[in-house]
Amino acid sequence: MVLARRLLNLKESGTLKAMAKAKELQSMGVNVIQLDVGEPDFPTPENIVRAAKTALDSGYTHYTPSPGIPELREAIALKLREENRLNVSRDNIVVTPGSKQAIFYAVMALVDEGDEVIIPTPAWPSYMEIVTVAGGRAREVPSTTDFSVNTEGIKEAINERTKLIIINSPNNPTGYVMSEKEVSELADIVADHDVFVLSDEIYEKLVYERQHISIGSLPGMDEKTITINGFSKAYAMTGWRLGYVAAPKPIASAINKLQQHSASCPSSFAQKAALEALKPETPVRPMVEEFRRRRDFICGALEKLHFFRFSKPLGAFYVFPDISATNMKSGKFCDLLLEKAGVSTTPGEDFGGYDSHIRISYANSMENLMEAVSRIERVLESLP
């Protein structure tokens, strides 16, 4: 075998695969509405783009310090202290090329061969695969029916091999936002055991109902929490590839070493743009309000179809309906929607084996969402 053993069980990214299928059809001239992509359709706000242009024009195009430029790490630490109540300084922060890379580094830094990582599901597929690459074992703990986190199940799954629990609130793919009670119950469990929690807060700003709470802000949790965030979702900056990790200093330092020997540093001018993004003048609110409008539309429209069962998402930009009424598995139903309706969605099986669900991203224009819903309705009407 040519490949290293650690790659033998690695699965392709289901979300990127769905996106690639849609793009291929589009390149053949097929009109495909993409409800598969996990990225805001808005342009990056102007003030951010301007900051990057200024950086480029002034020749800011070389390597930067490996953990990121000091002023950006400082600004991130300040944001985390003020908005998230985390007890962090610049030395706890490493800026990375995307938050996915930050998660990769954090898992590589903590998980040894044979260690277990608890992942409440439904969950973003990359968590499971990154744990596999690190030689660990992903222990999936299915959530309860409304997608709230199954804290009892997590407690039962912890054993002497457990190293890490990965949480993601607001959640991809369900849009669930953990309540204060759930966050505090989970913090109690972590406090009672020799485990860390990795809290992926990339959708933190996209909340419509509840308040987002960072688990790292709870008493005693600063030494046991690795907080992940980034610029992709809140600032419509997916292509800029910029994320960050806030971790206890020894972990942040190990992550920095991993970065030194892989990416070297994040992109220089993108870091200048990120510094601008964090300023209060960046228009995040209008984007969040537009997502809320789309969420209300898509949930209302799906309800009217009387076909899908779903919990109304409280955050992010996804809805994760149960498609059991189609009598089809998620992959097959997604293929049908793509082929017959030109609507691209993502199979639920990729999010921890949720074969009777699909993920619909409503990060698309209202016009496209309306057209997609009527196309989906036509496909449902044609089912036997």
Q: For binding to ligand PLP (CB under 6 A), which residues are involved?
A: 38, 98-100, 124, 168, 172, 200, 202, 230, 232, 238, 243
Helix residue ranges per DSSP H, 85-221: 99-110, 125-133, 151-157, 180-192
Name 214's Cβ contacts closer than 8 Å, sequence gap at least 6. Answer: 80, 84, 85, 86, 199, 201, 204, 225, 227
Minimum gap (Å) between residue 352 Cβ and ligand PLP: 13
Q: How far is the CB of 377 from ligand PLP (least distance, A)?
A: 28
Q: Please, what is the minimum distance in Å from the beta carbon of residue 167 to ligand PLP?
A: 10
Report the residue number, 99 or 143, with the smaller CB distance to ligand PLP: 99
Which residue type is seen at 149? V
Q: Closest distance between ligand PLP and the C-beta of residue 184, in Å?
A: 22
CB of 49 to ligand PLP, least distance (A): 17
What value, to the nearest 5°, has the Cα angle with vertex 297 and ends 29 and 17? 40
Whichever of 73 and 100 has its CB closer to ligand PLP, that residue is 100
Nearer Cβ to ligand PLP, position 247 or 341?
Answer: 247
Q: Give whichever of 202 and 319 is closer to ligand PLP, judged by the CB atom.
A: 202
Q: In the chain, count of helices (H) and strands (E)?
A: 12, 12
**Which residue, 326 or 346, has its beta carbon nearer to ligand PLP?**
346
The 10 Å Cβ neighbour count of residue 62 is: 8
CA distances from 338 to 30, 32, 35, 37, 348 (A): 10, 7, 10, 14, 15
State the Rg of the chain over Cα. 21
Q: Which helix (H) or strand (E) holds 294?
A: helix 284-305
Which residue number, 233 or 272, has a Cβ lying nearer to ligand PLP? 233
Instruction: From 103, 95, 106, 101, select the one nearest 273 (Cα to Cα).
Output: 95
CB 240 to ligand PLP: min, Å = 9
Nearest residue (beta carbon) to ligand PLP: 98
